Amino acid sequence: MDLTAVQTVRQARSRAELALAPGERFLAGGTWLFSEPQPDVTGLVDLAALGWDQVELNEDGDLRIGSMTAIGALESWARDSSLPAAPLVIDCAESLLASFKVRGSATVGGNIARSYAAGSMIALGATLDAVAQIWTASAERTMPVADLPAGNGETTLARGEALRAIVIPASALEARTASRRIALAQHGRAGALLTGRRDGDGGCTFVITAATLTPTVLRYPELPDAAVLERDARDAPGYYTDALGDADWRRQVSAVLLAEVREELA
Q: Which residues bind another protein (CB under 8 A)?
A: 1-9, 27, 30-32, 34-39, 41, 43-44, 46, 48, 94, 97-102, 104-105, 182, 184-189, 191, 242-246, 248-249, 252-253, 256-257
> Which residues, at least 6 apart from 72, have a Cβ–Cβ distance to it below 8 Å?
93, 100, 103, 104, 105, 106
Q: How far is the CB of 189 from another protein (least distance, A)?
A: 7
Residue 102 or 143: the one with the smaller Cβ distance to another protein is 102
Residue 70 or 167: the one with the smaller Cβ distance to another protein is 70
CA distance 161 to 157: 6
Residue 62 or 94: the one with the smaller Cβ distance to another protein is 94
Contacts 24+ apart (CB under 8 A), 183-188: 183/97, 183/244, 183/245, 184/244, 184/245, 187/97, 188/97, 188/244
Residue 184 or 226: the one with the smaller Cβ distance to another protein is 184
Phi, psi of 153 (to 5 degrees): 90, 5
Residue 168 or 253: the one with the smaller Cβ distance to another protein is 253
Q: How far is C-alpha 48 from the geometric centre of its chain's CA atoms?
A: 19
Q: How far is the CB of 103 from another protein (least distance, A)?
A: 9
CA distance 135 to 163: 6
Q: How far is the CB of 175 from another protein (least distance, A)?
A: 26
Q: How far is the CB of 42 from another protein (least distance, A)?
A: 9
Residue type, 96: L
